[in-house]
A = this chain, B = another copy of it.
Amino acid sequence: MGKVTDTPQWHTLEQAAQQVRRTHMRDIAADPGRGRTVASGAGLHLDWSRQRVSAEVLAGLLELARACGLHQRVEAMFTGERINATEKRAVLHTALRAAPGKHVIVDGVDCVALASATRAAMATFTDAVLSGAARGCTGAQFTDVVNIGIGGSDLGPVMVAEALRDQVTGLRPHFISNIDPTDAFETLRGLNPETTLVLIASKTFTTAETMANARLVRQWLVDGLPAASDVGQHLVALSTAVGLASDFGVLPERVFGFWDWVGGRYSVASAIGLSVMLAVGVDTFEELLAGMRAMDEHFLAAPSGENLPVLMGLLGVWNRDFLDIPTRAVLPYEQYLHRLPAYLQQLTMESNGKSVGLDGTPVTVQTAPILWGEPGTNGQHSFHQLIHQGTQAVACDVIVFARSRHDAAGQHLTLLANALAQAQVMALGRSATELAEAGVAADLIAHKVMPGNRPCTLISAPMLTAHALGALIALYEHATFVEGVIWGINSFDQWGVEYGKEVATALVPLLQGDRAAADVPEFTQASVELLRSMQ
């Protein structure tokens, strides 16, 4: 297939977009021909009634998906084809959480069986730690777990551990990611080496930030334990590099692996999730995976027009390419999800922040929007001013749960009322006529007008459980894939992150004072000198 923008389906949508751009959402929303605008699956509800999407647009988007072979691409992913073409890898995060008894064979190896075996080993280890059978070198029971990782080895575990924070019945989880030594300093403050278990999460065991922090934390263990030789009882590696981990001092039976068919940003259900399992226990971790699995099965089975990830992905393409909206705000009305936007930034922007298609030629579309957000109601007192009255529309995902995990004096109901009110005002705005009718002073009317027409998807579930969280994660994973398929890009490589590391390595000796160390542009040289003058 050539460029997606050359297809008749794309042209049809462009025609429809011209119509939509002339129509206010209040007229689209009132159209009885639009039919159902809520889809349900895996315990979640996706309500796109506040999107600028007519019946015609929805039909056109579903046609576009067909023209792009979406169904076949989904099948190819689930069955282990090497759809990560530039790295020649299968993409099988779904195998991590597949039902026992399923088989996905790549190169003669059953990936589901591999994942299950590792998860069983993780569970055995977790149970041993939580029961006190596995202890620190002084015989003290572990109370804290520190996960050292960055990117996909950090954002998923952090987000999930925060989301399930009131379900932490095991070790208290902590995370070190940044090479900035402040991160380790502040995290270790108040921890006791004797009762701390340290996980080093790096597929290759060579990630610069992670290994620097691992050395720093190992030294902290050595300094705080009776004998340096005891350090192995406090270390775990989440890695495929058993040899390097062993050289570092990790016992071979404490290395939990994963595989090249698990991308970092899709890895929270793999060994990378061990910090979560140690924190919430095996059963709750399994519930998280069950939620993911439920969404996987829905994604595979549900008709496109009722398929949550398909609809969400197509709406993403519609807002980005046809309505020209460059950013997307994720607004969880659930404080426990405060790190969801940061997690989704990696998932969506590292996956689909690309300019070159699978065919090696430049794309002719706009790809991933900037994703950002903070929990509601906090955002309402911060950036919602811009959402309602700025010059640039923002597409929003509003996430709500019918029940709170801690209701108090009806506050949760007020939270829900705020979420629905914001979604309504984004969609409909408030006109000068309405303001005049409400008696607003004439000289303030212009300042109070809100144009509306800000598209918004409402995602809801009964309560934030591990299952609902798993379904939510898988929803965004698959919606990201759907967008990538339409845009014709590889959502599973990340070539743009390599070169910066190389340049950084070359700059270190320059910053140490070796002026001849690297051939750098004038502005970099000037910055090095300025920074050195302040050291």
- The answer on a CB contact under 8 Å between B368 and A446 is no
> CB-defined interface of A385-414 with B at 8 Å, one 1/0 digit per residue?
111111110100000101111111111111
Cβ–Cβ contact B155 & A356, under 8 A: no
What 1/0 flags go to A333-350 for Cβ under 8 Å of B? 111100000100110011
Chain B, residue nearest A150 (CB): B381
A184 adjacent to chain B (CB < 8 Å): yes
Contacts of A490 in B (CB 8 A): 447
Given contacts A346-B382, A377-B209, A381-B150, contact A186 B335 (CB under 8 A): yes
Contact A370 B447 (CB under 8 A): no
Query: Which of B350, B376, B448 lies in contact with A383, CB distance below 8 A?
Result: B350
The oligomer's copy count stands at: 2
Contact of A418 among B179, B336, B447 (CB under 8 A): B179
Contacts of A497 in B (CB 8 A): 380-381, 384-385, 388
* Contacting residues, chain B, for A354 (C-beta < 8 A): 385, 389-391
Query: Which of A199-219 touch B at CB < 8 Å?
Result: 208-209, 212-213, 215-216
- How far is the CB of A63 from the nearest CB of chain B, in Å? 24
Residues of B within 8 Å of A166, CB to CB, are 182, 185-186
Task: Tally A residues with Cβ within 8 Å of B.
Answer: 153
Q: Judge if A74 is at the interface, Cβ distance under 8 Å.
A: no
CA distance A358 to B54 in the complex (A): 37
Identify whether the interface residues of A are mostly helix, strand, loop, or mixed.
helix
- Verify A389–B182 contact, CB threshold 8 A: no
Candidates B400, B495, B524; contact of A424 at CB < 8 Å: B524
Please give 12 more A-B residue pairs, beta carbons under 8 A apart, in addition to A50-B523, A447-B490: A30-B522, A45-B530, A49-B526, A150-B378, A180-B404, A355-B391, A367-B391, A372-B372, A386-B496, A388-B496, A418-B504, A460-B527
Q: Top 9 A-B pairs ranked by shortest CB distance? A: A353-B386, A151-B381, A402-B534, A421-B503, A389-B496, A421-B504, A346-B382, A353-B390, A388-B496
19 A-B pairs with CB atoms under 8 Å apart are A49-B526, A180-B377, A182-B404, A185-B406, A208-B414, A212-B409, A212-B411, A264-B381, A353-B385, A353-B387, A371-B383, A387-B496, A400-B531, A413-B511, A421-B500, A421-B503, A421-B506, A448-B496, A462-B534
